Structure 1
Amino acid sequence: SRTTRHPSNFMASSPQSSSSAPKADDKAASHKEIYDQLLEVVSTYPTAPSGIGRPYTHHPDGWYAFTPAVVNAMVIKRHLKARDTDVFLATFPKSGTTWLKALLFATLRRTADGPALAPLAAHSPHQLIPFLEVQVFSNGQIPDLSSLPAPRLLMTHIPSRSLPESVVASGCKVVYLCRDPKDCFVSLWHFWNRFAPSPWDLGEAFQHFCDGVSLFGPFWEHALGYWRWHVERPEQVLFLTYEELAADTIGQLRRLAEFVGRPFTAEEREARVDREIVEACAMESLAGLEVNRSGKTAMIEDSVANNIFFRRGVVGDWKNHLTPEMARRIDEITKSKFRGSGFALTPATADQN
């Protein structure tokens, strides 16, 4: 299989001439020093087992991730300068990230000739809109993103409270996609088992998830952080649910396009441009592309097979894995955590198959 790199958006760099090499070396050394200093700080943070042979690190803001991602997130908070034209995508892991990336890329990058589907056929959505904390800021890099054309598409799993202050201050657009935690957990469990040396016991993984020990978790605090931001500043933060997106993809895509400032015109609707995007970005369509069947994407420490980002993608798959007692426990936690927030998973969201 082959590893395809990002198109020249985030990680592109021109060859260094001999006269500029020392300056570039000095910058690289400075960046490495920043990472090394933060790594030393993070090494003092408490850890928790993850179930796949590598411990989670507990960030002071109250969330968990592997040590490199925690370090990278801290670098991002200090060095990423958001602009008012930026569009941030944010999700808790396994909440429909791949789907959202594809939909937004095809919509926001469309031209008078139609949606941007050709790049999706040649690149994984994770190459077109890479993760800030595991692709863009990683391996000692503090990239200069200032030359990227507006709007910059930026993706993260980082909880809202740990984002750079410039994200709030700039007034840039933030799109958050939330998923029923039961489906989210099951998808995350399947995903981790692709990396685990031996299958992670479902009961043990479930207990960790309910205790809040999960990648970029706890789930409930992650969702609530973005929900409250949406309530306070609805013109800046759009809060979507996976279940709404699955039930009315075309309607939610139009809502998304309107929010990011690229609404579909009457002519585009007549030409079915929006419906073409929905069909091309359906999970079965994306999963069938050669790049997503056999390609790989570079992440923090290695290249990851693109096909691991595609499984079933259906609402209610948790019923095939969780006992009624497990489902009730997550529902009780969800009800308790979300009480008073104004947000609740609807019966349709919770029960749909």
Structure 2
Amino acid sequence: MEHLKQVPIVPLRASKEEEEEEEAAKAFEASLPKEKGFLGPYLYFYQGFWCPSRVLHNVISFQKHFEAQDGDIILATKPKSGTTWLKALTFATINRALYPTNHSNHPLLTSNPHELVPFMEFNVYAHGNQHLLHPNNSCSRLFSTHIPYAALPKSIKDSHCRIVYLCRNPFDTFISFWEFTKGSMSKGMSLEEERSSMAEYLEYFSRGVEGFGPFWDHVLGYWKESLERPDKVLFVKYEDLKDHDGIREMKRLAEFLSFPFTVEEERGGAIHEIAKLCSLKILKDLEVNKKGKCMPHVENKMFFRKGEVGDWVNYFTTSMVELLDQVIKEKFNGTGLTFRFI
């Protein structure tokens, strides 16, 4: 029997158009101001904020191609401001008719919140994941982003879709990110582990050079929009959400999204049940959140730490407090926005 002749495998070459696009992208990237990052090699200053190098092209693709629908819900946060918690609460609230909290197969018991509410820049517009634009079963399309308001796609601003912004005080946000960074570096995510210290990161943070920052521009962008267009942007404070199991803020959230709790639901304890299901204690102990990865380089367990208000006092020295306090007072003076630190 004659042996079949093997055909050598020849790698597919990119088309001339693809090569030109890649070269143009590299040239554009090289034209941007850059600083070193703490979870990756660089931060690029793009459209008024510091964009992590690994998602720059995803952000641009999101801006160019996303077509918002009036029923969409966008959850916006600065990194490490309670994003995972907000995703869980919002998903459970708007889908409570489809998935009652006592359902043994509730999606939050079997999936990480970041899988149920994908990031635009880390998930949807990365690696050809546009199928995530068409979620199954959910009553509304639900997405999240860390991008500042000014840099959001025009379709989001012009449509009737709604934005929920969760803000956390800068001291706890700083510590939460620093702890996340240390965990990431131990997993080999950072390229230069020895380059970063807490004092160095505070110096960068105080200059506004950090992922999706400056912090003050990010927060104030959504804050001002929430004052001018309260039907468009709901501004929620992390510390208020921690008060009294978050019942008051959860009611605000549900009403804003047009999924208000009925009198019968309130009497029946529906809000308390959702708060319990989405609590750090419950989510952190779930098997799905103890192992695996829902995003490259990030283990699920890294999204669940303490979730406390005022944990920063266990880390900051007096001089560090004075430095950040001075910056915050300077940037937020006269804006009407205040923070609770303890």
Contact kept? 1:42, 1:71, Cα under 8 Å: no
Compute the displacement of 1:150 (Å).
4.9
- SS of the residue corresponding to residue 56 of structure 1 reads strand
Q: Which residue pairs with 1:260 in the alignment?
A: 257
Q: Structure 2 matches for 1:56-205, cutoff 5 A?
A: 56-59=43-46, 61-111=47-97, 114-115=100-101, 118-139=106-127, 142-143=130-131, 145=133, 150-196=139-185, 198=193, 200-205=196-201
- Structure 1: how far apart are the matches of 2:92 and 2:178? 29
CA contact (8 A) 1:194 1:308 kept: yes
User: 2-side partners of 1:266 and 1:245: how far apart?
Assistant: 21
Q: Say whether the 8 Å CA contact 1:35–1:75 is kept in structure 2.
A: no
Amino acid at match of 1:42: E
Using the alignment, how far apart are the partners of 2:159 and 2:97 within structure 1? 26
How many aligned positions are there?
A: 318
Cα distance in structure 2, aligned partners of 1:317 and 1:119? 30
Q: Which deviations, in whole Å up to 9, do the C-alpha atoms of 1:268-298 show, x marking residues without a partner?
A: 112211100101111111100000011221x
Question: Amino acid of the residue matched to residue 256 of structure 1?
Answer: L
Give unpaired runs (5+ residues) of structure 2: 1-14, 186-191
**Matching of residue 207 in structure 1 with residue 203 in structure 2:** yes
Partner Cα separation in structure 2 for residue 35 and residue 270 of structure 1? 58
1:318 alignment partner, one of 312, 326, 332: 312
Q: Could you say if the C-alpha distance between residues 35 and 312 of structure 1 is closer, same or farther in structure 2, counting changes exceeding 3 Å?
A: farther
> Normalization by structure 1: what TM-score?
0.84
Residue 247 (structure 1) aligns with: 243
Is 1:270 matched up with 2:257?
no
Q: Does 1:333 align with 2:319?
A: no
| In 2, Cα distance between equivalents of 1:256 and 1:329 | 34
Based on CA coordinates, which of the two structures has the bigger radius of gyration?
2
The 3 A distance-change label for structure 1 pair 293 and 44 is same
Structure 2 counterpart of 1:251, one-letter code: R
SS in 1 for 2:158: helix
Q: Residue 327 and residue 136 in structure 1: after superposition, are their counterparts in 2 closer, same or farther (change >3 A)? A: same
For residue 77 of structure 1, what is the amino acid of its counterpart? Q
* CA shift for structure 1 position 52: 4.6
Percent sequence identity over aligned pairs:
39
Aligned to 1:15: none
**Residue deviations 1:146-201 (CA, integer Å, cap 9, x gap):** 68765110100001111011111102110000011010001101111122253631
On the 8 A contact 1:191/1:308 being kept in 2, the answer is yes
Counterpart code for 2:209: V
Distance in 2 (CA, whole Å) between partners of 1:53 and 1:134 is 14
Closer, same or farther in 2 for the Cα pair 1:325/1:305, shift >3 Å? same
The SS at the match of 1:343 is: coil
Q: 2-side partners of 1:33 and 1:260: how far apart?
A: 43
- Distance, in Å, in 2 between the alignment partners of 1:313 and 1:30 is 48
Instruction: Confirm whether residue 304 of structure 1 aligns to residue 298 of structure 2.
Output: yes
Per the TM alignment, residue 264 of structure 1 is displaced from its structure 2 partner at its CA by: 0.7
CA distance in 2, matches of 1:29, 1:267: 63
Letter in 1 for 2:153: P
SS in 2 for 1:194: helix
- The runs of 5 or more residues in structure 1 that have no matched partner are 1-27
Corresponding residue for 1:8? none
RMSD (Å), alpha carbons: 2.5
- TM-score of the superposed pair, with normalisation by structure 2: 0.86
What one-letter code is carried by the residue in structure 1 that aligns with 2:204?
Answer: H
Between 113-122 and 75-84, the greater mean CA deviation after superposition: 113-122
Work out whether residues 79 and 142 of structure 1, in 8 Å CA contact, stay in contact via their aligned partners in 2.
no
- Give how far 1:38 is off: 3.7
Contact kept, 8 Å, 1:96 with 1:179, in 2: the verdict is yes
Asked if structure 2 preserves the Cα contact closer than 8 Å seen for 1:76 and 1:133, the reply is: yes
